[in-house]
Structure 1
Amino acid sequence: MASELTARRIFTGLILLSIFLLALVIRPFAEAFFLAAVLAATFYGLHKRLTRRLRGRSHLSSGILCTTVVLALLLPLGGLTAFIVTEVSEGAQFVSQTVQREGVSGLVEKLPGPVRGAANSVMKRLPVGEQNLDQTIQEQVSSQGGTAAKAVTGAVAATGSIAFQTIMMLIALFFFFTDGAKLVDWVESVSPLRRGQTREIMREFRSVSGAVLLSSVATAGVQAVAALVGFLIARVPAPLFFAGVAFFLALIPMVGAAVVVLVAAALMFFSGHPWAALFLAIWGTVVVGLVDNVVKPLLAKRGMHQHGAIVFFALLGGLAAFGTVGLLLGPLIVAFFLTLVRIWERDYGRSTPRAGDPATPGPGSTGDGGRAPMVRSEATGEHVPLSPSGESH
Structure 2
Amino acid sequence: MATEKVARRVFIGLILLSIALVFWVASPFFEAFFLAAVLAGAFYGLQTWLTRRFRGRRGLAAGLICVGTILAVLAPLASLTAFIVSEIIEGVNFISTTVEQRGLQGLLTYVPGFLQEPAGRMLERFQTESAGVWTTVQEQLSTRGASAAQTVGGVVATTGSVVFQTVMMLIALFFLLVQGKELVAWLESVSPLKRGQTTELLAEFRSVTKTVLVSTIATAGVQAVAALVGYLITGVPVPIFFAAVTFFFALIPAIGAASVCVVASLLLLATGHPVAALVLFIWGVVVVGLSDNVIKPLLAKRGMHMHGAIIFFALLGGLSVFGAIGLLLGPLIVAFFLAVVRIYERDYGRPSTRLGDPGTPPLNKPTVAEGEEWEPTVFHPDGEGRPSH
- Partners of 1:36 and 1:96 lie apart in 2 by 48
2:193 matched residue in structure 1: 193
Distance 2:67 2:247 in 1: 22
The residue identity in structure 1 corresponding to 2:251 is L
Deviations 1:219-245 (A, max 9, x none): 111111111111111111121222122
1:84 aligns with 2:84: yes
- Which amino acid letter does the alignment assign opposite residue 372 of structure 1? P
Deviation at residue 209 of structure 1 after TM alignment: 0.2
**In the alignment, is residue 271 of structure 1 matched against residue 257 of structure 2?**
no
Report the counterpart of residue 161 of structure 1 in structure 2.
161
Deviation at 1:148, TM superposition (A): 4.8
Structure 2 letter corresponding to 1:86: S
Q: 1:373 aligns with which of 319, 336, 359?
A: 359
Distance 2:332 2:86 in 1: 42
1:261-300 alignment runs, 5 A limit: 261-300=261-300
Deviation at 1:320, TM superposition (A): 1.0
User: Percent identity among equivalent residues?
Assistant: 60
Alignment of 1:148-297 (within 5 A): 148-297=148-297
TM-score (structure 1 length as normaliser): 0.84
- Whether the 8 Å contact between 2:76 and 2:248 is mirrored in structure 1 is no
**In structure 1, C-alpha distance between the alignment counterparts of 2:145 and 2:102, rounded to whole Å:** 26
Shift of 1:323: 0.6
Deviation at residue 280 of structure 1 after TM alignment = 0.4
SS of corresponding position for 1:306? coil
Which whole-Å CA distance do the structure 2 matches of 1:149 and 1:307 have between them? 50
Pairwise CA distance, 1:277: 0.6
Number of the residue aligned with 1:336: 336
How far 1:5 moved relative to its partner?
4.3
Give the superposition deviation at 1:317.
0.9
Q: Aligned in 2, Cα 1:221/1:370: closer, same or farther, shift over 3 Å?
A: closer
In structure 2, how many angstroms separate the alpha carbons of the residues matched to 1:231 and 1:124? 36
**Which range moves more in the overlay, 54-63 or 200-209?**
54-63
Query: 1:14: how far off?
Result: 2.3
Q: 2-side partners of 1:328 and 1:53: how far apart?
A: 31
Distance in 2 separating the partners of 1:111 and 1:217: 39
Q: Distance in 1 between matches of 2:36 and 2:290?
A: 30
Matches within 5 A, 1:19-38: 19-38=19-38
Offset, 1:102: 4.8
Q: Tell me which amino acid in the other structure corresponds to 2:114.
A: P
Deviations 1:120-164 (A, max 9, x none): 2334566x7165376467547745665554444333322221111
On the 8 A contact 1:114/1:271 being kept in 2, the answer is: no
How far, CA to CA, are the matches of 2:16 and 2:121 in structure 1?
68
Q: Which residue of 1 aligns with 2:318?
A: 318
Q: What are structure 2's unaligned runs of at least 5 residues?
A: 361-389
- Measured after TM superposition, the shift of residue 46 of structure 1 is 1.3
* Matched residue type, 2:171: I
Secondary structure of the structure 2 residue equivalent to 1:220: helix
Counterpart CA distance in 2 for 1:254 and 1:212 is 17
Equivalent residues in 2 for 1:88-127 (5 A)?
Answer: 88-99=88-99, 102-123=102-123
1:309 maps to 2:309: yes
What is the Cα deviation at residue 107 of structure 1?
A: 3.3
**Post-superposition offset of 1:15:** 2.1
How far apart are the structure 2 equivalents of 1:145 and 1:87? 29
Q: Summarize the Cα distance change of 1:106–1:308 in structure 2 as closer, same or farther, 3 Å threshold.
A: same
* Structure 1 segment 349-364 matched on structure 2, within 5 A: 349-350=349-350, 358=353
Is the partner of 1:330 in helix, strand or coil?
helix
* Contact 1:113-1:270 at 8 Å conserved across structures: no
- In structure 2, C-alpha distance between the alignment counterparts of 1:82 and 1:196, rounded to whole Å: 51
- Equivalent residue pairs, number: 359
Taking a change above 3 Å as real, the CA distance of residues 248 and 2 of structure 1, as seen in their structure-2 partners, is same
Letter in 1 for 2:195: R
Mark the CA change 1:184 to 1:43 in structure 2 (over 3 Å): closer, same or farther: same
SS in 2 for 1:129: helix
Normalised TM-score (structure 2): 0.85
Deviation at 1:9, TM superposition (A): 3.8
Shift of 1:256: 0.5
Offset at 1:322?
Answer: 0.7
Is the 1:114–1:270 Cα contact (8 Å) retained in structure 2?
Answer: no
* One-letter amino acid of the counterpart of residue 279, structure 1: V
Distance in 1 (CA, whole Å) between partners of 2:270 and 2:69 is 39
Native 8 Å contact 1:188 1:198 kept in 2:
yes
Code of the aligned partner of 1:254: A
1:40 alignment counterpart: 40
Residues 1:271 and 1:140: Cα distance change in structure 2 (over 3 Å):
farther
Whole-angstrom CA distance in 2 between matches of 1:57 and 1:113:
66
Contact 1:253 / 1:324 at 8 angstroms: preserved in 2?
A: yes
Question: In structure 1, what is the Cα distance between the partners aligned to 2:83 and 2:149?
Answer: 24
Which deviates more, 265-274 or 153-162? 153-162
- 8 Å contact 2:205–2:332 — kept in the other structure? yes
CA distance in structure 2 between the aligned counterparts of 1:191 and 1:226, rounded to whole angstroms? 48
How far apart, in 1, do the equivalents of 2:99 and 2:137 lie? 13
Contact 2:297 2:312 in 1 (8 A): yes
After TM superposition, give the deviation of residue 58 of structure 1 in Å: 0.9
> Cα RMSD over matched residues?
2.4
Larger radius of gyration: 2
SS in structure 2 at match of 1:349: coil
